[in-house]
């Protein structure tokens, strides 16, 4: 089960922030922007290993890219997809495939290209985003922004998720303003406050900086920002970090509150709910009932509901189906296995003779005597099949093969 507390070793995070993890968690996470220059970051080698201009060309021209994995923006507006998509030709008559020549012309005329969902498309970013997400214990989405020289893809706005910006190629000027709404929820997008955002953007920015290749910027959700490519094209990556908020806890509490009879009670006959005087005694009674019910809430019930919300939002490491099945079929006691990186699991007692392994979207049941072996196999470190704590090699092989076939573990190469 992935678990990590603030502080400690964070090799993926150290590529994106130049302060140690404990300080980042205490002083910046969800609070303030952080600029990290290339020479201050771990490795100091830039980010072209994650995505390069050549990789962008390959994605746009040779990977059969479809919408919504590409957006195109010009003069602050997102262009309709039919401006740059069409059929893929004989044998690939899918109508929304990216047309590389159309994309090239739009880019040459000043449009910004936004490659979306790269955490599902491009292998280096699949791997890095999984590691960074595991260290943060949050799901990530990865986009790339390719902006022509002197262009600005989007007007000043804010995001409802935290963002790590990694500058890959070229330079880009960023202007940051403090939030008009601190810690916005996903349903509180900036468009609902467009006038306030525009007015604030006219004032003096809190930060006015230029990112060069290898630089990184952390932005908490809600911070206003705009970015403009300078003398050459600009390519940067954004890692959007989905927030789990106290409001989400409240939402799950309200879902559980349906078990309370007082809170399910019908309002009085013919009450005028638009009349503050008429609704006041009902509001008082409701608040009192809710307060009484909250004192009875079981944290385990809340945690179970939050688990159902949180676990499905991040995927574990990819599995190679054919290689995995071949490995399982030929499994021997000397083979080594390890848990899939990012796998979320919880093992609990299930009666006197069984344990339940709770996973994302499913639960598996095992005899109780398998519990030590399950914990060993899913702990994260590679383990030799013959070293699993069971009584004989047959049981060890059967369990390991089942875990492989269920894609809970992978071969440890």
275: its two tokens: 């009349």
Q: Is the separation of the CB atoms in 227 and 177 below 8 Å?
A: no
Radius of gyration (Cα) for the chain, nearest Å? 26
Please say whether the beta carbons of 171 and 211 come within 8 A.
yes
Exposure string for 100-131, b = 16+ CB within 10 A, e = fewer = eeebeebbeeebbbbbbebbebbeebbbbbbb
Whether the CB-CB separation of 169 and 48 falls below 8 Å is answered with yes
Whole-angstrom CA distances from 77 to 319, 372, 406 are: 38, 56, 45
High-pLDDT (> 70) share of the chain, %? 98
CATH (one of 3.30.1490.190, 3.40.50.2020, 1.20.272.10, 3.90.930.40) for 321-411: 3.90.930.40
Kindly state the average pLDDT of the residues 275-285: 96
pLDDT, tens digit (0-9, with 9 covering 90-100), for 380-413: 899 999 999 999 999 999 999 999 999 999 999 8
Between CA 12 and CA 21 the distance in angstroms is 11
Q: What is the pLDDT of residues 71-118, one digit of tens each?
A: 999 987 899 999 999 988 888 888 899 999 999 999 999 999 999 999
Give the residue extent of every domain in the chain: 13-241, 246-309, 321-411
Beta bridge partners of 347: 357
CATH homologous superfamily of 13-241 equals Cupin (2.60.120.650)
DSSP conformation class of 157: B
Quick: pLDDT tens for 249-267. 999 999 999 999 999 999 9
Residues 8-28, mean pLDDT to the nearest whole number: 92
As separate numbers, helices (DSSP H) first and strands (DSSP E) second, the chain gives 11, 19
The crossing angle, in degrees rounded to 10, of helices 246-256 and 299-310 is 120
Q: Predicted confidence band at 9 (pLDDT cuts at 50, 70, 90)? A: low
Query: What is the pLDDT at residue 5?
Result: 40
**Chain segment 25-61, per-residue pLDDT in tens:** 999 999 999 999 999 998 778 999 999 999 999 999 9
CB atoms within 10 A of CB 240: 20
- Report pLDDT for 153: 75
Task: List pLDDT tens digits, range 224-244.
Answer: 999 999 989 999 999 999 999
Pair 113, 72: CB distance under 8 Å: yes
For the chain, what is the largest distance between any 2 Cα atoms, rounded to a whole number of angstroms?
76
């Amino acid at each position: 089960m992935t678990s990590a507390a603030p502080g400690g070793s964070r090799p993926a995070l150290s590529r994106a922030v130049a302060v140690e993890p404990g300080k980042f968690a205490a002083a910046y996470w969800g609070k303030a922007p952080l600029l990290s220059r290339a020479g201050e970051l771990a490795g100091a080698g830039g980010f072209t290993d994650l995505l390069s201009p050549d990789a962008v060309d390959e994605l746009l021209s040779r990977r059969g890219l479809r919408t919504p994995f590409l957006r195109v923006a010009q003069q602050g507006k997102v262009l309709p997809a039919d401006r740059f998509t069409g059929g893929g030709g004989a044998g690939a008559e899918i109508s929304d495939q990216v047309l590389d020549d159309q994309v090239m012309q739009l880019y040459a005329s000043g449009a910004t290209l936004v490659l979306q969902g790269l955490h599902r498309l491009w292998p280096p970013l699949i791997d890095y985003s999984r590691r960074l997400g595991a260290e943060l214990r949050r799901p990530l989405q990865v986009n790339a922004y390719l902006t022509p020289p002197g262009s600005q893809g989007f007007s000043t706005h804010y995001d409802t998720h935290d963002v790590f910006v990694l500058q890959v190629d070229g330079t880009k000027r960023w202007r940051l303003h403090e939030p008009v709404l601190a810690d916005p929820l996903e349903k509180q997008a900036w468009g609902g406050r467009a006038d306030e955002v525009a007015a604030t953007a006219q004032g003096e920015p809190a930060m006015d900086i230029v990112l060069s290749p290898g630089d990184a910027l952390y932005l908490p959700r809600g911070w206003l920002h705009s970015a403009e490519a300078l003398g050459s094209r600009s390519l940067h990556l954004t890692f959007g970090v989905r927030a789990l908020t106290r409001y989400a806890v409240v939402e799950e509490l309200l879902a559980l509150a349906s078990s309370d009879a007082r809170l399910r009670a019908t309002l009085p006959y013919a009450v005028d709910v638009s009349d503050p005087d008429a609704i006041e005694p009902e509001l008082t009674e409701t608040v009192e009932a809710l307060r009484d019910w909250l004192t009875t809430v079981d944290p385990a019930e809340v945690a179970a509901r939050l688990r159902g919300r949180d676990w499905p939002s991040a995927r574990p490491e990819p599995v190679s189906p054919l290689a995995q099945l071949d490995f399982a079929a030929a499994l021997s006691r000397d083979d080594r296995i390890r848990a899939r990186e990012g796998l979320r699991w919880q093992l609990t007692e299930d009666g006197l003779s069984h344990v339940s392994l709770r996973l994302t979207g499913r639960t598996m049941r095992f005899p109780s005597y398998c519990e030590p072996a399950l914990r060993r196999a899913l702990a994260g470190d590679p383990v030799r099949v013959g070293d699993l704590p069971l009584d004989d090699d047959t049981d060890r092989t059967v369990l390991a093969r089942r875990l492989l076939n269920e894609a809970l573990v992978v071969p440890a190469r």
